[in-house]
Structures are given as structure tokens and as C-alpha cells.
Chains A and B, each alone.
Chain A
Amino acid sequence: MKLPMIYSYLKKDLDKIEDAMTDIIRAEHPVLEDASVQLLRAGGKRIRPVFVLLSGKFGTYELPRIQTVAVTLELIHMASLVHDDVIDDAELRRGKPTVKAKWDNKVAMYAGDYIFARSLEYLSNLKEPRAHQILSQTIVELCIGEVEQIRDKYRIEQHVKDYLRRIRRKTAILIAASSRIGAIASGAPLAYERALYRYGYYVGMSYQIIDDVLDFTASEADLGKPAGGDLLQGNMTLPALLACEDDAFRERLMKAFRDPEQLNQEKLQPFIQHIKSSDAIERSLAMSDRYLQKAYQELDKLPPTRDRNTLKQIARHIGKRSS
């Protein structure tokens, strides 16, 4: 089953969110408007709004309030993507030219800042200080996570714990915040709010680990870029870290990382092959699965509704995804 089929009953509300996002990113300057629209049209799974909507179902579900949170979370994610493309100097995102490729880095910076400001302006309609405190703390941590990712590039001598802390900040906490703030906006009981936060966190961790595994195992067609991109950029993801438990492999990779400018897709092939044929992939997937199990346990703390079931199916889908 495709992911959107799992939550097809939310389609009407998700369409409204999409319309609201289109309205909100309108800008006076034509290039700013085009860049923002281009970002929006590049699409994406819109998984954060889905988590917000589903979490909102555990309280009083009033779409205008829940929508405010869902739109904001997705726009903040979009703003971070347009800046990430400048950081990674990426030409393509989901097979389409990035804002920085179509215009330039400056337009991408201003479009990202514009969307970020618009999203905060929009969220200020929600007069729930706690929601703002959680979100602002999340954004600060997100930035620190990205800074640490740059700091840790080409650093072989790092612990799995470093990696987990990085992906916690990079991915998991925004999904966790989406779930929690969705619950806050609906006035859900505190116990549900906490369970939803932890569910989002564990799902986010699992999601990122699988993403990092797919970077080695998926085809170029599925990824929209050559496999092994993370390693090429010096990012030590879980499969690479686990493979480094083999001393000979670690030595070879360390040697290759000493001169990153000389690294290319061809030179990386033996490393990618080694990781794929070792038990690193299997062990990474097992760790992802452990996070999923923890996510399921959190769901047990929620009332048995269709929405709880949907959250479970989404988690299961994330665990099985292949692209």
C-alpha cells in the first residue's frame, strides 16, 4: 500500500493545508514568489502535516487551529530544504532544479528566510506559548544538528551515539514536535501529548536510519542521485560507522578521507560495495526496527481509534520503505 492510501481519509484536510500553504507563500516580488511556488510544487510526502492532523485527533479537532500548526511545520521544513540546497550545493531536488540552481544562492537564502518569517507570522495566530516554546527550541536544535553534521564530516573516529544525537536533531525532533504541537493545538490530555511526542521522535529516528541505509542500497533512479552520496560528502551515517568496526575497512576509509578533494563516485564504489555486503545494513535496519517497536509502545498509551491505527500503519510503512 502506498503511504497516502493509509491516510486517504485526511485528504480533504490535507488539500486545505496545501491551499493555505499556496496562499501564505505569496510574495510581492515576482522572483521570490516564483522561487517559493517552485519549492511548494516540488512537493514531498507532507508527512509532517499528516502527523499534526493525526495528533490533533486525540483532542478537540478544530481544523483551523490544527491547520495553523500543520502549515507552519511544513513551511519551516521547506525553508530548511531551500537552505540545505545551498549548503549541499545541490542542483536537483526530487528530480527538479533547486532554487539555488534555477536562480542563485542569494535568492535561495531570501526565499528560505521569507518562508520562515511567513510561517512564524502565521503560527502567531495560535496563542499557545508552550507550542511556540517547543517549536522554537526544536528549530534551535535543528540548526545545531546541522552545524554538528558539518563538524563531524570525514571524522571516522566517532561513536554511534554521536550519529544518533545528530539524527535526533536533524530529523526526529521536528517530527516529534509536529506530533506534540498538533496535540497541544487540539487540547489533548498531557499524557497523550507526551506519548505522541515520543512516537514522533522514535518514528523520526527510524525514518532517518532507513534513509541512510537507502543511500547505500537504493538505485540511482529511486534516489534521484547516485548511491553513496552521504559517504561522498564525508557524512558518517550508521551503516558506515558499523562497517568501520572492521579495522581494515576503517583504515582504508580513513586514508581516502584524508584527501576529500580527490574522492569521487568511482573511488567510493569499493567502500559502498563493502558496506552493502557486510552486516552493517542488516544491523542498521535492526536498530531502525527497535525504534519502531518503541514507537508502537507509545501508541499503546493512546485510545484505540482509527487515527491510532493510522499512526501505527505509517510507522510500519516507514519501516518497510524501499525508496
Chain B
Amino acid sequence: MIVLSYASMEELHTLRKKIENRMQQAYLDENLDIPYVDDYKLLLLQTLFGQANLPDKQQTDYIVTIMLIQIALDTHDLVIRKTKADETADERVDRQLTVLAGTYYSALYYKILAELEDIDMVALLATAIKEINEQKMVLYYDTASAAEFFHILRRMESTLFYAAASPFIKTKELEPLVDYFIISRLNQEAFMNEPTPITIRLGIILEQNQSTLTVTEAINQELEEASARLTRNLRTMPQVYAAAARKLLLQGKRQEELYLEEG
């Protein structure tokens, strides 16, 4: 549960609703699970664009657009590597609609920005999507160790957000936030009840390396290390980002504990 004031919670809820409304497609909604919308990514986007002095509508449109891309990318990750030979009719429909849902959400991003006549943002985000797909190939096919895996995952999770913010905010200012993204992603993985593409791939790597760690232990270890790095960076980042980062770090922790670690 995210720790926010009532007004901020309302704002996040409104943003979430706008994303869900945009994604609505009767047959997809009927047949697929509701995509995961990461509140912490929403919170950070709200913070980033809040710093950019943009009109409210533009801020909202950007946030909805970027989250749609994130959801599209995540949805396509859910397509299984090999179609099962004994696939049932339901599994087949699920696979087929997962492909189409990802493409549909991705098309919506383009539509929103085209309606805004924001062609430069289309280009910027398309470049980020291109890079993320390159990174996905490395993540799922080339990573040989858990350290390498988490390194690529960190880059992959931050690329879209850095690209979106780059016209308004100096990239240097965002660098200390890099661990924010991997923490929110790993929290998302922990939220899922069943193996995800990320945990499956990590499991394979750990097995290949004959690691004594389980997938959960490796994720918890990375979460601790990333949280420690982000905590150290709180002092060097602008106050508004530090406030958002503290909210992420506070999950399951008492405020005082965090201050102790920062100190």
C-alpha cells in the first residue's frame, strides 16, 4: 500500500481510472486479466511532470501515454516462449489475445500523442521502445549471471521514464533515481502469485550458475542492495524526487528506520 496524503491518493486514483478507461476493449477485458498498473511508477511520473511546468492536461496525457507503453511492453512479455503442443482452446485464445492486447495498448499511445500533435514525443518514446526491445533480447537470451541480469533490468526499467522526462529535466538529475525503477519492478514481481517471465529467466540463470539462492532470495537480496543505493542517493537528488523515493522505500518500514539508514 502506497503511503500518500488523501489528495495525492485521489490524484493517483484518477490517473489510474484514466488509464483503465483508455485501455477498455470489451472482448479483451472479458478474456484477459486486468493489466498491472504500478502505483509507484505513476507517482514518479506525476512528480517528474509536475517539475516540468506543463499544463495539467498535457501532464495527464503524458502520464497515461507512458503507462500505456509500459503496460504494452509488459503484456507482450507474457507471451510464452513456445506454444504448447497440447494447448487447450482457452490457452490458445489467451495467447492470441495477449499478443493483440499489447499491440492495442501500444497503438493507443501513438493515437493519444498524434491527437495532441506531439510528433516529437512520438519519436522520443518510439526510440525508447526500440531500445527496450534490444534490452529485452539481452535480458532473456544473453544474461549469464544474476548481477548481469539485474544490471540490464535496471536499465530496461528506467529507459522509458528517462526518455519521457528528457525534454524537460536534466538527465543528470534523474541518474540517482535509477534504483527506483528496479525496486518498483521487483515489488511488482513479488505481487504476482505465479511465475513471471522475469522470475522464470532469473531461475534459469541461478540454476545455470549452480547458485544456492532461490529466486525469491535473489530478488530480496537485490531489493536490499537497490534500496541501500537509493537511500544513499536520497541526499544528492532534488527534494521532490527524494520525497517520491522515500515513499517507495517506506513500504513495510517505519519512517524512523529510513531516517536512520539515510543518516
Which residues of A come within 8 Å of B, CB atoms?
Answer: 27-29, 31-32, 80, 83, 86-87, 89, 104-107, 109-110, 112-114, 116-118, 120-121, 124, 126-127, 129, 132-133, 135-137, 139-140, 142-144, 146-148, 150-151, 260-261
Q: Can you sample 22 A-B contacts with CB below 8 Å?
A: A27-B134, A32-B133, A32-B137, A86-B83, A86-B99, A104-B82, A109-B76, A110-B137, A116-B103, A116-B106, A116-B129, A117-B127, A124-B122, A124-B123, A126-B119, A132-B117, A133-B115, A135-B114, A147-B25, A148-B27, A150-B93, A150-B97
CA distance A136 to B118 in the complex (A): 13
- Is B81 within 8 A of A106, CB to CB? yes
Query: Which A residues lie within 8 Å of B96 (CB)?
Result: 87, 150
Query: Which A residues lie within 8 Å of B129 (CB)?
Result: 113, 116-117
Query: Which B residues lie within 8 Å of A109 (CB)?
Result: 76-77, 79, 99, 102
A110-B133, A147-B25, A147-B104 known; A87-B99 Cβ under 8 A: yes
A117-B129, A124-B122 known; A32-B134 Cβ under 8 A: yes
CA distance A163 to B70 in the complex (A): 33
- Is B117 within 8 A of A129, CB to CB? yes
The one of B89, B93, B99, B115 in contact with A83, judged by C-beta atoms closer than 8 angstroms, is: B99
The one of B28, B95, B110, B120 in contact with A120, judged by C-beta atoms closer than 8 angstroms, is: B110
Q: How many A-B contacts if CB must be within 8 Å? A: 132
Say if the beta carbon of B73 comes within 8 Å of chain A. Answer: yes
Say if the beta carbon of B80 comes within 8 Å of chain A. Answer: yes
CA distance A82 to B28 in the complex (A): 21
**How many Å from the CB of B262 to the closest CB on chain A?**
38
- Is B100 within 8 A of A89, CB to CB? no
- Is A136 within 8 A of B136, CB to CB? no
- Is B82 within 8 A of A140, CB to CB? no
A140-B107, A150-B96 known; A106-B122 Cβ under 8 A: no
A105-B82, A109-B99, A113-B106 known; A133-B114 Cβ under 8 A: yes
CA distance A98 to B140 in the complex (A): 20
- Is B25 within 8 A of A113, CB to CB? no
- Is A140 within 8 A of B130, CB to CB? no
- Is A31 within 8 A of B110, CB to CB? no
Say if the beta carbon of B234 comes within 8 Å of chain A. Answer: no
How many chain B residues sit at the interface, stated as a range, is 35 or more
Say if the beta carbon of B191 comes within 8 Å of chain A. Answer: no
Contacting residues of chain B (63-80) with chain A, CB-CB under 8 angstroms: 73, 76-77, 79-80
- Is B119 within 8 A of A124, CB to CB? yes
If A106-B79, A133-B115 are given as contacts, then 10 extra A-B residue pairs at C-beta distance below 8 Å, sorted by A number, are A87-B99, A87-B100, A120-B110, A124-B122, A129-B119, A137-B111, A140-B108, A146-B100, A147-B28, A150-B100
Say if the beta carbon of B141 comes within 8 Å of chain A. Answer: yes
Query: Which A residues lie within 8 Å of B206 (CB)?
Result: none
The one of B95, B115, B126, B137 in contact with A31, judged by C-beta atoms closer than 8 angstroms, is: B137
Say if the beta carbon of B37 comes within 8 Å of chain A. Answer: no
CA distance A126 to B120 in the complex (A): 10
Query: Which B residues lie within 8 Å of A28 (CB)?
Result: 134
Query: Which B residues lie within 8 Å of A133 (CB)?
Result: 111, 114-115
For residue A29, which residue of chain B has the nearest CB?
B137
Say if the beta carbon of B12 comes within 8 Å of chain A. Answer: no
**How many Å from the CB of B21 to the closest CB on chain A?**
15
A89-B83, A136-B110 known; A113-B76 Cβ under 8 A: yes
- Is A121 within 8 A of B25, CB to CB? no
Query: Which A residues lie within 8 Å of B73 (CB)?
Result: 113
Say if the beta carbon of B165 comes within 8 Å of chain A. Answer: no
A31-B141, A124-B126 known; A83-B103 Cβ under 8 A: yes
CA distance A133 to B119 in the complex (A): 10
- Is A136 within 8 A of B114, CB to CB? yes
CA distance A28 to B136 in the complex (A): 12
CA distance A104 to B141 in the complex (A): 11
Say if the beta carbon of B242 comes within 8 Å of chain A. Answer: no
**Which interface residue of B73, B117, B119 has the most chain A CB atoms within 10 A?**
B119
- Is A105 within 8 A of B81, CB to CB? yes
Query: Which B residues lie within 8 Å of A132 (CB)?
Result: 110, 113-114, 117, 119, 122
**How many Å from the CB of A32 to the closest CB on chain B?**
5
Query: Which A residues lie within 8 Å of B77 (CB)?
Result: 109
10 tightest A-B contacts by CB? A124-B123, A132-B114, A117-B129, A129-B117, A136-B111, A121-B126, A120-B126, A143-B104, A29-B137, A117-B130
A29-B134, A127-B119 known; A105-B83 Cβ under 8 A: yes
For residue A134, which residue of chain B has the nearest CB?
B114
CA distance A247 to B68 in the complex (A): 46
CA distance A27 to B141 in the complex (A): 15
Query: Which A residues lie within 8 Å of B141 (CB)?
Result: 31
For residue B197, which residue of chain A has the nearest CB?
A106
For residue A152, which residue of chain B has the nearest CB?
B27
